[in-house]
Amino acid sequence: MKEKTMRDICKMARKLAKPYRMTDGDSFRLKDISPADTLDLKAEDKPRAQEVLAIGVQTLATLQDMLYAQDRWGLLLIFQAMDAAGKDGAIKHVMSGVNPQGVDVHSFKVPSAEDLDHDYLWRCMKYVPERGRIGIFNRSYYEETLVVRVHPEFLTNQKLPPELVTKDIWKDRFQDIRSFERYLVRNGIVIRKFFLHVSKKEQKRRFLERVENPDKNWKFSASDLKEREFWNQYMEAYEDMIRQTATEDAPWFVVPADNKWFTRVIIAAAVIDALASMNLSYPEVGEEKQKELTAVRKALTKK
Ligand code: AMP
Ligand code: MG
C-alpha cells in the first residue's frame, strides 16, 4: 500500500470514528447515541460500506504487520455489549485480514472457582497483550460493573471480606479500573474499548432469528431472555460505566449496533486510528546487518 494512500485512509478512519469516541465521561449520556444511527449513510450505501470495510481490513493488516515487526507497542481491544449486539461477528470480520500469529482473542465468561479465589482483575491481567501484538477481550473486567452490579448475588460469590463490600464498591472499582488502564497505557499498551449499542427492539429481532434459524439455534440460551428483563438496569450500568471510565488514555467507542455493516466499519476505523496513533514503522537495520545482507546477496548470486 502506498504511503499517501495509507495516510489518507488513516485520516478518514479518524474522522469516521470520532463522533462515537468518548474521552470525557462527565459529558456522556447514552441517549445521545442512537443504536440505529448510520451517520448520513443509507441502506443503499451498504455495498459501498462493505467496500470501505474491505479497504479497512487491508489497512489493518499492513499496520499490524508493522506493529509486530517493531515490537514496542501492544494494542488491547475490549468489547462489551448486550447479547446479540454483534460482538462476535464484528471481531470476526474486522480482524479477518490480520495475521493470526499476532492476535489473541479471549472470551470472559462466568468466573471459575479458581478465578473467584483471586482479585477480579487477575484472570484478565494474564491475557494483556505482549508488545507487538493485538489482544482482544470479548467481555472483560467491565462485567464486574455490569452483570455483577445488576445481579448482586455474583458479588456475594466473590468471597470478599464483608467489611470491604461497602456502598462505595462501584466507585472503588471504577477508580481501580481507571488506574489499571492508565498503568497499561504508560507501559505502551494502547487501549480502545467498544460498547456495541443495540436497541431492545433489534435484540428481539435477532433472538427470534436465532430461534427460527437452525444454524443459529446454538447461539441462543434461555438465560439471554432472562437478562433481557433487566434491560433498563443494564443500560444504567453501561451509562455509568462509560461516564466513569471514558478517559483520554482509554476511550470508549459507543458504536451504534442496529446495523451490523455500520458497526463493523466504525470499529475498523477506530482500530486503524489506534494503530495509526503509534507512528509505526519497520525497524531499520544497522550497518552491521547491512554488511551481512550484502555478503549474503553476494554468496547467493555466485551459486
Ligand atoms: P456469552 O459471552 O454470551 O457466552 O456469555 C458469557 C456470560 O458470562 C455472560 O452472561 C456474562 O454476563 C457472564 N460473565 C462474564 N463475566 C462475568 C463475571 N465477572 N461475573 C459474572 N458473570 C460474568
Ligand atoms: Mg450469549
Q: Which atom of ligand 1 is nearest to the CA of 144?
A: 19
How remote is the CA of residue 38 from the centroid of ligand 1, in Å? 29
Average pLDDT score, the chain: 95
Cell numbers standing for residue 292: 551481512
How remote is the CA of residue 225 from the centroid of ligand 2, in Å? 10
Cell numbers standing for residue 86: 454483534
Residue to mutate, 109, 127, 177, 241, ligand 1, most ligand atoms under 8 Å from C-beta? 109
Regarding the beta carbon of 146 and ligand 1, being less than 6 Å apart is answered no
Tell me what pLDDT residue 2 has.
Answer: 83
pLDDT, one tens digit per residue, over 122-138 is: 999 999 999 999 999 99
Cell numbers standing for residue 107: 472470551
- Flag whether pLDDT at 111 surpasses 80: yes
pLDDT, one tens digit per residue, over 183-206 is: 999 999 999 999 999 999 999 999
Protein residue whose Cα sits closest to atom 7 of ligand 1: 109
Regarding the beta carbon of 148 and ligand 1, being less than 6 Å apart is answered yes
- Flag whether pLDDT at 48 surpasses 90: no
Average pLDDT (3-16) is 92
How remote is the CA of residue 222 from the centroid of ligand 1, in Å? 14
Give percent of the chain with pLDDT exceeding 70.
100
Residues 6+ apart with CB under 8 A from 139: 79, 80, 87, 107, 108, 109
In which band, very low, low, confident or very high, does the pLDDT at 302 lie, cut at 50, 70 and 90? confident
pLDDT, one tens digit per residue, over 65-84 is: 999 999 999 999 999 999 99
Query: Which amino acid appears at position 281 of this protein?
Result: S
How remote is the CA of residue 126 from the centroid of ligand 1, in Å? 18
Regarding the beta carbon of 110 and ligand 1, being less than 6 Å apart is answered yes
Question: Phi and psi dihedrals of 5, rounded to 5?
Answer: -55, -45
How remote is the CA of residue 4 from the centroid of ligand 2, in Å? 42
Average pLDDT (17-33) is 96
Regarding the beta carbon of 155 and ligand 1, being less than 6 Å apart is answered no
Query: What is the rounded CA–CA span in Å between residue 94 and residue 63?
Result: 13
How remote is the CA of residue 20 from the centroid of ligand 2, in Å? 24
Instruction: Note the pTM of the prediction, 2 decimals.
Output: 0.96
**Residue written as cell 461516564?**
243
Average pLDDT (223-246) is 97
Regarding the beta carbon of 91 and ligand 1, being less than 6 Å apart is answered no
**What's the per-residue H, E or C state across the chain?**
CCHHHHHHHHHHHHHHHHHHEECCHHHCCHHHCCCCCECECCHHHHHHHHHHHHHHHHHHHHHHHHHHHHCCCEEEEEEEECCCCCHHHHHHHHCCCCCHHHEEEEECCCCCHHHHCCCCCHHHHCCCCCCCCEEEEECCHHHHHCHHHHCCHHHHCCCCCHHHCCCCHHHHHHHHHHHHHHHHHHCCEEEEEEEEECCHHHHHHHHHHHHHCHHHHHHCCHHHHHHHCCHHHHHHHHHHHHHHHCCCCCCEEEEECCCHHHHHHHHHHHHHHHHHCCCCCCCCCCHHHHHHHHHHHHHHHHC
In which band, very low, low, confident or very high, does the pLDDT at 254 lie, cut at 50, 70 and 90? very high
